[in-house]
Structure 1
Amino acid sequence: MRISEVLRNKGAEVVTIGPEATVRELLGVLAEHNVGAVVVSVDGVSVDGIVSERDIVRRLHRVGAGVLDSPVREIMTAVVHTCAPEDRVESLRSTMTQHRIRHLPVLSNGRMVGIVSIGDVVKHAISELQTEREHLEQYLRG
């Protein structure tokens, strides 16, 4: 299955935040949209970084509550792994596992067209296993 099919099933909405927004504002966005990561983008279509709940927790542990008034750009991951709509979900599994990444923005011609999470990849794997099981059961029944 290709990433484009995953996006077709889940939708292409990507939650973004500007790099100058505060971490406090970021927390509000994460809670409002019930997501674990947000793409940092100046214009809503380019990827300038990504920031996750983990990033917040780690920085909060290191520097304390003062981080809440810091700009998102100070805690975001600036080098972001991405994928393309034509990439296969199976290759994403490997990338996510190898680099310990839970969210990958999907880019087409340099523009963000979606985001894929580890949950999407797991959902795909479960769906594949269920389909395979059904085929095997049908085969055994004759």
Structure 2
Amino acid sequence: MQISQLLRRKGHDVATVDGSASVRTALGLLAEHRVGALVVSSDGRGIDGILSERDIARGLHEHGAGLLAEPVSRVMTAEVHTCTPGSGVHDLAQLMTDHRVRHVPVVDDGALVGIVSIGDVVKARLDELEAERKQLVDYIQTV
């Protein structure tokens, strides 16, 4: 299965935040959108970084509650792993495992077109396995 197929089912919406926004504002966006990460982008198309709940937790541990007033750019992850719509779900699962990331933005011609979480990858794989199981059961029952 390709990422483009996965995005067709889940949608192309991506929650973003400007790097100059406060960490407190980012926390509000994470809660509002019910997501675990925001793509940091000044224009909604380019990727400046990614901010996960994990980044915020580590930042709070390191810098204390004063971090909430600091800009997102202070705690975001600047090195972002991305994929394309043509990438395979299996390849993306490997990338997520190798780099220990849970959210990967999808980029097409340099523009942000979606985001895939580890949950999306697991769901896609479970759907594939269920389809294979059904095909095998159908085959066995017809023999």
TM range, normalised to the smaller chain? over 0.9
1:56 aligns with 2:56: yes
Q: Secondary structure of the residue that 1:32 maps to in structure 2?
A: helix
Aligned to 2:132: 132
Q: Which amino acid aligns with 1:103?
A: H
Give the superposition deviation at 1:63: 1.3
Q: Secondary structure of the residue that 1:113 maps to in structure 2?
A: strand
Tell me, which stretches of 5 or more residues in structure 1 are unaligned?
none
Aligned to 1:90: 90
Poorly superposed stretches of 4+, deviation over 4 Å: none
Q: Secondary structure of the residue that 1:86 maps to in structure 2?
A: coil
1:29-63 Cα shifts (integer Å, max 9, x gaps): 00000000000001110000000000000110111
Give the superposition deviation at 1:22: 0.2
Q: Secondary structure of the residue that 1:6 maps to in structure 2?
A: helix
Tell me how many residue pairs correspond in the alignment.
142
Aligned to 1:39: 39
Give the superposition deviation at 1:140: 1.1
The aligned runs of 1:2-81 (5 Å cut-off) are 2-81=2-81
Q: Which whole-Å CA distance do the structure 1 matches of 2:91 and 2:34 have between them?
A: 26
RMSD: 0.5
Q: Which whole-Å CA distance do the structure 2 matches of 1:128 and 1:5 have between them?
A: 12
> What TM-score comes out, normalization by structure 1 length?
0.99
Q: Which amino acid aligns with 1:32?
A: E
Q: Which whole-Å CA distance do the structure 1 matches of 2:18 and 2:44 have between them?
A: 8
Aligned to 1:116: 116
Tell me, which stretches of 5 or more residues in structure 2 are unaligned?
none
Give the superposition deviation at 1:112: 0.3
Q: Which whole-Å CA distance do the structure 1 matches of 2:72 and 2:60 have between them?
A: 13
